[in-house]
Amino acid sequence: MSVRELFPFFKWGFSLRRSNFLVPILSNNVIVTGEEAVGFSDSSRKSPVQDMNALSLPPVDGKPNPIDKAIAMLTNAEIVSKVEDGSLPQYKLESELNDLTRAVEIRRQVLERNMEQDVSLRSLPYENFDYSKVLGACCENVIGYIPIPVGIAGPLLMNGINVSIPMATTEGCLVASTHRGAKAISESGGATATIIGRGMTRAPVVRFLDSRRAVELVHWIQEPVNFAAVQRAFDSTSRFAKLKSVKPTVAGRLVYLRFKSETGDAMGMNMISKGVEKVLEMVHTVFRDMEILALSGNMCTDKKPAAINWIEGRGRTVVADAIISGHVVEKVLKTTVRDLIDLNQSKNLVGSAMAGSVGGFNAHAANILTAIYIATGQDPAQNVESSNCITLMESYNNGRDLYISCTMPSIEVGTVGGGTFLPAQSTCLDILNVKGASYESPGAHADQLARVVCAAVLAGELSLMSALAAGHLMTSHMALNRAKS
C-alpha cells in the first residue's frame, strides 16, 4: 500500500499547493519529508537500526570516533538525555528502538522530567497495549491510553432483532437511562429504523480571476456529458467510491464544489478526498486559470455546525420511530403520554427554536451518539454534525399511546478504517455484528451501525424526556452521578 493511498491529505500538500513547505509523512515507520518519502513497500530502504550502525560520530581532535552504538543498545537514561538535548526527536523513538512499549515508557520519562509541576504519570496506564495498531494510524507521541468504562444498554428490539448497545462514557445515568428507554420501546413492540439516504461529502474551494469564469465552471460541471466524465474520474480511484452529485456554490470569484459519494462501509473521508483530488486534476486541464485553494472549503461540512448538513444530509440520513403503549409509559417511564407531548413541544421544539438552534431539536442526542462512537472507534469529533436530530412526539390511538420519532440527517459512521480495527473497539462492533466490511453488500454494516445509533438515540430521548416530565432527573443524577473520592 502506498503513502498516497494511506495519507491522501499529506499528498495533497505536494501535488496541488504551490508553496514548497514539506509535510511530515510516515515511511517504514520513519518520519520523512518531501522527495525523501517512499512507499511502505520499499524493501530496499535500510532499517533505522541499520542506518544508525552505519554512522560514525564527528572526529574529535582529528581522530575518528568508533561507530556509535545503535539507539536500542543504550540505557533508558541515555536515550532520555538524547531526546532532551535534541539529538533524537521524540517521534523517532518507535522506529529507532523497535520496541513500541519501551518508546512509550521513555517518552513518559521525558515528560515527567520536563514538567514544571511535580506530576506523576503512574495512574495513566501504558503497559499491555498493542501499540502496533496505533503507530502511523491513530495517534502520535503516545504516552499511554485512557481506560473509559463501557456499558451495555438494551437489548433494544429494532427492525425485529434484539441489539445490545455498547456505550463508552464517564457520565453516570446515561447507560441506565438509555437502557430504560430501550426496555420501554421493546415492551411496546420495538422500534423501526430506516436509512433515508447516504453519501459522504467533501467540498474543495477554487478561485478564478473573476466571477464570470467562476460561473463558467458551474455551467460546465452541470452539463450531463461533463458530469459523466467527472463521475468516471472520481469512481476510478476506489472500487467503493460512487459519486452521486456535485453541487457548486459561487461566492464572488470563489467556487465551492460539494461532492457527495457512496463510500461502502468506510466513513469515507479519505476515500472521497482521493476522488476529489483526481477530479480537480482533470478539471484543471480544462480550466487552466483555476487556482486550487484547498481540498476542504468548509462547505463539506466536517466537525463544525452547519445548516447544510441539517438540510442536505451527510453520511447516513436515518429515521427511527416507535409507538409506546400508554401502559408502558406509566409503568416503566413513570409519566403520562400527555405530559411527554407537552414537554417535547415546549422544550425540544419551541425552546430550541427560541435558541436559534440548527439541528438541535432534541434533548441529548449527542450524549448517546458520542458514547457509541467512542465505543466503536468512530471519530468522536464528528458528533458535532452527526448528532443533528429532531425528536417528535404525538398522541396515538386516540391519545392512549405515544408516537415518538428521531430523524437524524447526518450520522457519519464506518465499520472499517479509523479506530475501528483497535481490539476493544473492534469487539464493540462485534457485539453489534457489524465488524469490518460487508462483502455481500458493501455499505450494509455501516448502514446497520447508523440505524443502531438512531434507534439508541430514540431510546435515550424517550427516557430523559420522561425523567424531566416526571421530575426525576436530579434524583437519578444525585444517586448515580455523584463523584467518588
Which residues are catalytically annotated? Answer: 171, 303, 379, 477
The phi and psi torsions of 409 (rounded to 5 degrees) equal: -85, -10
Residues in the chain: 485
Other beta carbons less than 10 A from residue 22's beta carbon: 14
- Quick check: bond before 301 cis, omega within 30? yes
Task: List the grid coordinates of 440.
Answer: 455481500
In this structure, are residues 107 and 142 in contact, taking their beta carbons and an 8 Å threshold? Answer: yes
Burial of 210 (0-12, 13-18, 19+ CB in 10 A): exposed
In this structure, are residues 403 and 395 in contact, taking their beta carbons and an 8 Å threshold? Answer: yes
In this structure, are residues 378 and 267 in contact, taking their beta carbons and an 8 Å threshold? Answer: yes
3-state secondary structure of 81: helix
What is the full DSSP assignment across 326-389?
Answer: HHHHHHTS-S-HHHHHHHHIIIIIIIHHHTT-SSEESSSHHHHHHHHHHHHT--GGGHHHHT-E
* Cβ neighbours of residue 19 closer than 8 Å, sequence gap 6 or more: none
Dist CA 15 CA 276 (whole Å)? 13
3-state secondary structure of 318: strand
